[in-house]
């Protein structure tokens, strides 16, 4: 594998650009106007629940499905009408799709032979591709003789050997057991970074998307729910769906008490109160687009809260500790607030005894968000 | 043209070709049965339905139809009685010689039916070896039994068709989830209760499939009733008799009724299967139970002895055939064993001058079977590709093509041959009919159509099992359609295709039923030559042809039929 040329020099030539992709299966609209640009060398993770359309989108990019509308470009070249064999994209399939009747070496050589490379060069590049995934000397092995993790690496070597313009990964780690998956993910991340290939990765696992993706496109119901870096998706979810899908969090019904003057970034200092908060308590945060007196849902991640003395004046939340989920370095406590709503809090220290009355307050660095009330927006939002 | 439209048109083309080959003759014959003088050409001679009325009013026609039906049902019962216990024994018990015996037991299905029948004749017929032996033991002046009538037909049917039940039972038991047996035992079920409430219901789909196969095979069986039936006519022999008497119209009506019974039987069986067994088939996962080791030395000895006696019994007809092939003409009269054995019969075949003519049937059978197999292989694979196509455009024809590929399997061979003879005895290219009867093309074409289910169904099964992503992976690596076909698809389905091809070849090479309706002297196959030698009392020469047929069939079976899949 050679080091990629300076991204800036060739960026325009090899961006992968999806524009307004739409697809329907019968009556069901699977994709609805997806537009994305994957700059050269970027790994873009397509994340979403099952049925969100992410696999269909990947198959459209690969050429196995045809979009009903929209265009697909690599640099200036339109590719949506090209058959898969002429797109020069490499793909790693969920179940690898290694050819069981061919040896490891023959599998990796397949794409090179299809491109009619001279035999010597094929052998050379097969050896190099296998070496790059730590399988040097495995050429003559049968597919059935190697482990699942090795099969995954052969699939990657086979896809990369012809040096495609774009790499497509369809849930590449889902077939591995958890410990192997962790290690393979690190190796995959390292390989992708080293060769700097434009990559589209489909996964339903947030951790995988965050770890491998430079950016993450979250799909929901065939639409792009949010596109951003993992950090942006986690810290600043654009919609209630994104907030609920990424990470852990709770939604509490509140009423807007005060809205201050709008700052330059569009946010206004806002005070909220409501049945979920302790009687008389208010909470201050920044919000955008909410008017005084409106109902809203306050979104809090477990790590935004900390336990405090419930009797102290001004404590925003009071309730009884219900149960704890211990997960090593941190624990997640479930607290039933006095209003009856349950909320999760992340703690690093002692776990209180069940039934103990506790108070909860925002950490200093917390950035809670307001979303339009679920009752108004509807359950799917 | 979009990819979907292209798939639609290719599907339409394959559909039309299959309709012409397997569906159209049946339609023409049905039409001819009702409109006699028309010969299937619409419009001409409409209104006269004399043969149909004649058929309905003739009691012997109904008798033949009824006999066909009960012989087929009785064959199912008898074959099941022999095959199922054997299947259990070889799937569940471990004893010396189990492997070899288990393979031997499947042999009768691989042997040409006509050869099996004449081997039976040589062994148990009026002057057969077993008949002479028993006759001399009981000091009877005449033969102790007569191998004729329904009993003889059922004996031959049981001998050749138990294999379906045996193989299906074995295969189903090999897939059976051993945990189900453990679950039944843990719930306190006795062995009998486990058998009747767990094992047999689990086997039901396989047994039903074996029953349907046996029923259709018995219904279409021709060799046994033809050789042993005597005056006991079933529908297949009735059809040939009608044709040979020049009652072509009546033969067409008979053909129509035989096809109706076959398709009716198939539909009833499939309906019952779907209603009662639909949800059972796919639930069996897990590892099969361990084979039970037979430990008691006495029981092991008894089982081994019984097994080898059975194998001998099964092989006896064919061993007899080989022996008879060494008996020179008219050298064996009343003796228990043939007094003279020589290579005379074989030499006669190889003698200069006569050789070309004597070997002509062998060459005929070989080239016709090879051409038919190659054609069935190509058409079967092309049709199978369409039949498993679930993509837009392709899915439109998939079901119909899958059905068409299976039709020749359900239609008795005699009926199909008559239908083809009716259709292809008229030259009317505009209506898709060509004058092929009497030419060298008709038999290969008929063999091809008959062989289509073997190659087509095998290809369908293999393609459906193949991971569709393999072809996508190939395309994503830059391989074009041809390269993907040659390097990925064909290697994956090759074992199934080879197995299908070997079945197709065996059926075509050993065919008697279709040939006797459609052959010409120039293209007479081995089976017809065997028959004419039997008529000339040339039993030794007939046996030589029988041995040749069997040996070449076995070679083809061993060569192509057992390719293993690479996993």
Cβ–Cβ below 8 Å for B469 and A168:
no
Look up the ipTM and state it: 0.78
Mean pLDDT of A119-144: 92
A140 touches chain B (CB under 8 A): no
Q: Which residue has the higher pLDDT, B563 or B4?
A: B4
In this predicted model, what pLDDT tens digit does every residue of A231-262 receive, in sequence order?
A: 999 988 988 899 989 988 888 888 888 888 88
Per-residue pLDDT tens for B296-324? 888 888 888 888 888 888 888 888 889 98
Average pLDDT over residues A112-127: 93
* Of the candidates A168, A174, A177, the residue with the CA atom closest to the CA atom of residue A45: A168
- Per residue in B434-444, pLDDT (tens digit) is 888 888 889 99
Alpha-carbon span B109 to B113, nearest angstrom: 8
- Out of A85, A90, A100, closest to residue B567 by CB: A100
Under an 8 A CB cutoff, do A62 and B566 touch? no
In angstroms, the CA A273 to CA B340 distance is 115
* B1 contact A CB<8A: no
Residues 231-290, chain A: which have Cβ within 8 Å of B?
none
- Nearest by CB to residue A83, choosing from B470, B475, B483, is B475
Q: Name the least confident of A118-132, B59-73, B101-115.
A: B101-115
Contact state of B469 with A97 under an 8 Å Cβ cutoff: yes
Query: Would an 8 Å CB–CB cutoff place A172 in contact with chain B?
Result: no
pLDDT tens digits along A315-356: 889 999 999 988 888 999 999 998 888 999 999 888 888 888
pLDDT confidence bin for B41, thresholds 50/70/90: very low
Contact B478 A162 (CB under 8 A): yes
Q: What confidence score (pLDDT) does residue B278 get?
A: 54
B472: chain A residues, CB-CB within 8 Å: 62, 64, 84, 91, 93, 97
Cβ distance A101 to B479 less than 8 Å, yes or no, reads no
What would the pLDDT profile of B193-245 be if each residue is shown by its tens digit?
888 888 888 888 888 888 988 998 899 898 889 888 888 889 999 888 888 88
Is the CB of residue B3 less than 8 Å away from at least one CB of chain A? yes
Q: pLDDT at position B49, please? A: 56
- C-alpha distance from residue A54 to each of A160, A216, B469, B474 (Å): 22, 12, 17, 22
**CB distance B475–A159 less than 8 Å?**
no
- State how far the Cα of B487 lies from the Cα of B478, in Å rounded to an integer: 13
A103 touches chain B (CB under 8 A): no
Q: Quick check: B413 pLDDT over 50? A: yes
Substitution target from B392, B477, B479, B495 for chain A, most A beta carbons within 10 A: B477
CB contact under 8 A, A62 and B473: no
Spell A237-253 as b/e; 16+ CB within 10 A means b: bbbbbbbbbbbebbbbb
Interchain proximity B470–A97, CB inside 8 Å: yes
Predicted confidence (pLDDT) per residue in B65-105, tens digit: 999 999 999 999 999 999 999 888 888 888 777 888 887 88
Q: Is the pLDDT of residue B408 over 90?
A: no
Tell me: pLDDT of B42 over 50: no
Contact B472 A66 (CB under 8 A): no
What is the nearest CA distance from A58 to chain B, expressed in angstroms? 12
CB contact under 8 A, B476 and A168: yes
Contact assignment for B477 to A114 by CB distance below 8 Å: yes
Give B 455-484 residues with CB within 8 A of chain A: 467, 469-470, 472-480, 483
What is the token pair recorded at B208? 């039903």
**Which chain B residue's Cα is nearest to A162?**
B477
Distance CA B379, CA B270 (A): 26
Q: Considering only the beta carbons, identify the residue of A84, A114, A162 that sits closest to B472.
A: A84
CB-based contact A68:A174 (threshold 8 Å): no
| pLDDT exceeds cutoff 70 at A281 | yes
**A84 CB near a chain B CB, below 8 Å?**
yes
Give the bridge partners for A272, in sequence order.
A256, A283
Cβ contacts of B479 on chain A, cutoff 8 Å? 85, 110-111, 114
Structure tokens at B358: 């004597």
Which of A192, A223, A238 is CA-nearest to residue A36?
A: A223
User: Taking the alpha carbons of A114, A117, A123, A124 in that order, is the dihedral positive or negative?
Assistant: negative
Please tell me the distance from the alpha carbon of residue B158 to that of residue B217, in angstroms, as a whole number: 11
Residue A328, pLDDT score: 86
- The gap between the terminal CA atoms of chain B, to the nearest Å, is 38
d(CA A319, CA A324): 14
- Cβ atoms of A369 and A243 within 8 Å: the answer is yes
Residue B281: band (very low, low, confident or very high) from pLDDT cuts 50, 70, 90:
very low
- Tell me if A93 and B473 make a contact (CB, 8 A cut-off): yes
pLDDT confidence bin for A4, thresholds 50/70/90? very low
Looking at residue A8, its pLDDT comes to 40
């Amino acid at each position: 594998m050679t080091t990629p040329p300076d991204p800036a020099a060739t960026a325009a030539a090899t961006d992968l650009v999806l524009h307004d992709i739409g697809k329907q299966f019968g009556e069901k609209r699977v994709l609805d106007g997806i537009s994305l640009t994957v700059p050269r060398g970027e790994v873009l993770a397509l994340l979403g629940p099952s049925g969100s359309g992410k696999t269909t989108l990947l198959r459209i990019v690969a050429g196995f499905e045809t979009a009903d509308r929209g265009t697909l470009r690599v640099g200036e070249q339109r590719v949506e009408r090209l058959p898969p064999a002429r797109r020069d994209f490499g793909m790693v399939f969920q179940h690898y799709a290694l050819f069981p009747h061919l040896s490891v070496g023959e599998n990796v050589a397949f794409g090179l032979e299809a491109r009619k490379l001279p035999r010597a060069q094929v052998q050379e590049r097969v050896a190099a591709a296998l070496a790059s995934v730590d399988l040097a000397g495995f050429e003559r092995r049968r597919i059935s003789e190697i482990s699942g993790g090795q099969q995954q690496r052969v699939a990657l070597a086979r896809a990369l050997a012809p040096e495609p313009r774009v790499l497509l990964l369809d849930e590449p780690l889902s077939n591995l057991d958890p410990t192997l998956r962790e290690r393979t993910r690190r190796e995959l991340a390292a390989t992708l970074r080293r060769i700097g290939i434009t990559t589209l990765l489909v996964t339903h696992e947030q951790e995988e998307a965050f770890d491998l993706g430079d950016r993450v496109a979250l799909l929901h119901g065939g639409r792009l729910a949010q596109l951003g870096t993992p950090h942006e998706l986690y810290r600043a979810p654009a919609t209630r769906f994104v907030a609920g899908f990424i990470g852990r969090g709770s939604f509490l019904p509140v009423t807007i008490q005060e809205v201050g003057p709008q700052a330059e970034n569009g946010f206004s200092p806002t005070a909220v109160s409501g049945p979920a908060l302790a009687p008389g308590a208010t909470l201050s945060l920044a919000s955008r687009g909410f008017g005084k007196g409106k109902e809203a849902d306050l979104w809090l991640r477990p790590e935004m809260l900390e336990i405090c003395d419930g009797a102290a004046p001004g404590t925003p939340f009071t309730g009884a500790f219900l149960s704890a989920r211990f997960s090593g370095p941190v624990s997640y406590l479930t607290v039933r607030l006095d209003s009856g709503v349950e909320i999760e809090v992340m703690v690093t220290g002692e776990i209180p005894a069940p039934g103990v009355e506790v108070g909860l307050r925002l950490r200093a660095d917390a950035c809670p968000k307001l979303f339009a009330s679920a009752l108004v927006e509807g359950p799917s939002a | 043209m979009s990819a979907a439209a292209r798939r639609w048109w290719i599907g339409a083309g394959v559909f039309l070709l299959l309709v012409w080959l397997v569906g159209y003759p049946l339609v023409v014959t049905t039409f001819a049965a009702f409109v006699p003088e028309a010969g299937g050409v619409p419009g001409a001679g409409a209104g006269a339905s004399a043969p149909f009325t004649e058929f309905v009013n003739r009691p012997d026609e109904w008798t033949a139809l009824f006999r066909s039906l009960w012989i087929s049902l009785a064959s199912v019962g008898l074959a099941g009685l022999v095959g199922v216990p054997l299947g259990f024994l070889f799937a569940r018990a471990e004893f010396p010689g189990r492997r070899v015996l288990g393979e031997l037991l499947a042999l009768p299905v691989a042997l040409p039916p006509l050869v099996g029948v004449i081997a039976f004749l040589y062994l148990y017929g009026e002057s057969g070896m077993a008949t002479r032996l028993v006759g001399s033991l009981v000091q009877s002046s005449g033969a102790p039994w007569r191998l004729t009538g329904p009993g003889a037909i059922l004996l031959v049917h049981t001998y050749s068709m138990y294999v379906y039940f045996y193989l299906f039972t074995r295969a189903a038991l090999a897939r059976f989830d051993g945990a189900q047996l453990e679950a039944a035992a843990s719930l306190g079920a006795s062995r009998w209760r486990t058998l009747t409430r767990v094992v047999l219901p689990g086997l039901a789909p396989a047994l039903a499939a074996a029953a349907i196969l046996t029923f259709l095979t018995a219904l279409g069986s021709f060799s046994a009733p033809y050789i042993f039936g005597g005056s006991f006519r079933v529908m297949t022999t009735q059809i040939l008799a009608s044709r040979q008497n020049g009652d072509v119209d009546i033969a067409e009506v008979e053909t129509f009724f035989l096809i109706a019974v076959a398709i009716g039987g198939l539909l009833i069986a499939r309906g019952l299967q779907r209603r009662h067994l639909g949800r059972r088939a796919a639930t069996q996962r897990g590892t099969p139970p361990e084979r039970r080791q037979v430990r008691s030395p006495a029981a092991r000895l008894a089982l081994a002895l019984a097994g080898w006696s059975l194998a001998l019994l099964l092989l006896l007809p064919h061993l007899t055939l080989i022996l008879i092939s060494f008996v020179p003409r008219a050298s064996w009269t009343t003796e228990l064993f043939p007094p003279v054995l020589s290579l005379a019969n074989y030499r006669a075949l190889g003698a200069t001058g006569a050789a070309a003519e004597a070997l002509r049937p062998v060459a005929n059978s070989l080239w016709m079977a090879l051409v038919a197999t190659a054609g069935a292989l190509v058409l079967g694979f092309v049709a199978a590709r369409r039949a498993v196509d679930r993509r837009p455009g392709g899915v439109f024809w998939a079901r119909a093509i899958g059905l068409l590929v299976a039709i020749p399997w359900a239609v008795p061979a005699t009926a199909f041959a008559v239908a083809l003879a009716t259709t292809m005895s008229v030259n009317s290219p505009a209506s898709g009919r060509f004058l092929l009867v009497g030419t060298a093309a008709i038999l290969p074409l008929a063999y091809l159509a008959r062989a289509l289910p073997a190659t087509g169904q095998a290809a369908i099964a293999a393609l459906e099992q193949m991971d569709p992503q393999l072809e996508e992976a190939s395309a994503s690596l830059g391989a074009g359609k041809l390269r993907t076909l040659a390097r990925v698809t064909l290697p994956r389905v090759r074992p199934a295709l080879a197995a299908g091809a070997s079945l197709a070849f065996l059926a075509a090479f050993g065919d008697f039923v279709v040939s006797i309706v459609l052959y010409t002297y120039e293209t007479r196959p081995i089976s017809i030559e065997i028959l004419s030698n039997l008529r000339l009392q040339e039993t030794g020469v007939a046996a030589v042809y029988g041995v040749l047929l069997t040996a070449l069939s076995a070679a083809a079976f061993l060569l192509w039929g057992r390719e293993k899949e690479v996993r």
